[in-house]
């Protein structure tokens, strides 16, 4: 009884597939194994905490909540929900950062245009001397 050549057993796979022929311990070939590509979904937790503390509290808080929901969905292996929560957290982080930068620019512009407050007399008119 003649054995088929091991190289000819699984040569009819289409090009570009993620299937590999696996040999077992006794030397026989097993059916191909389909590999699933690893999907990396970011949760943006660090960025959310930064935006919560430094830029805009309401947007940062919402981004933090969505980041936590992303982690929970990843723990449940619910990739669709995790991807959706991740995108929402990313957008809220961008909005928080832009809003915070705009507020800082507006405050600096106001202080340059209208002057810095004089802290010596706390808003009361100066005494005539």
Per-residue pLDDT of 47-56, as tens digits, reads: 999 999 988 8
Per-domain residue ranges of the chain: 45-114
- In whole angstroms, what is the distance from residue 1 CA to residue 110 CA? 93
Residue 1 has pLDDT above 90, yes or no: no
Tell me what the mean pLDDT of segment 73-84 comes to. Answer: 92
Are residues 72 and 81 in contact, defined by beta-carbon separation less than 8 angstroms?
A: no
DSSP string, 16-60: T--EEEEE-TTSPEEEEEEPPPPP-----HHHHHHHHHHT-HHHH
For residue 19, name the pLDDT band (cuts at 50, 70, 90). Answer: low
129 secondary structure, DSSP code? -
């Amino acid at each position: 009884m003649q054995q088929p050549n091991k190289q000819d057993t699984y040569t009819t796979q289409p090009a570009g597939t993620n299937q590999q022929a696996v040999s077992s311990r006794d030397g026989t070939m097993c059916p191909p194994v389909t590999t699933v590509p690893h999907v990396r979904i970011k949760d943006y937790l660090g960025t959310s905490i930064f935006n919560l503390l430094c830029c805009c509290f309401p947007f940062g808080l919402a981004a933090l909540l969505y980041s936590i929901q992303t982690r929970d969905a990843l723990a449940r292996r619910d990739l669709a929900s995790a991807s959706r929560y991740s995108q929402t957290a990313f957008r809220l982080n961008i909005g928080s950062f832009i809003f915070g930068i705009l507020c800082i620019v507006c405050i600096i512009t106001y202080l340059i245009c209208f002057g810095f407050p004089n802290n010596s007399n706390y808003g009361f008119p100066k005494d005539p001397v």
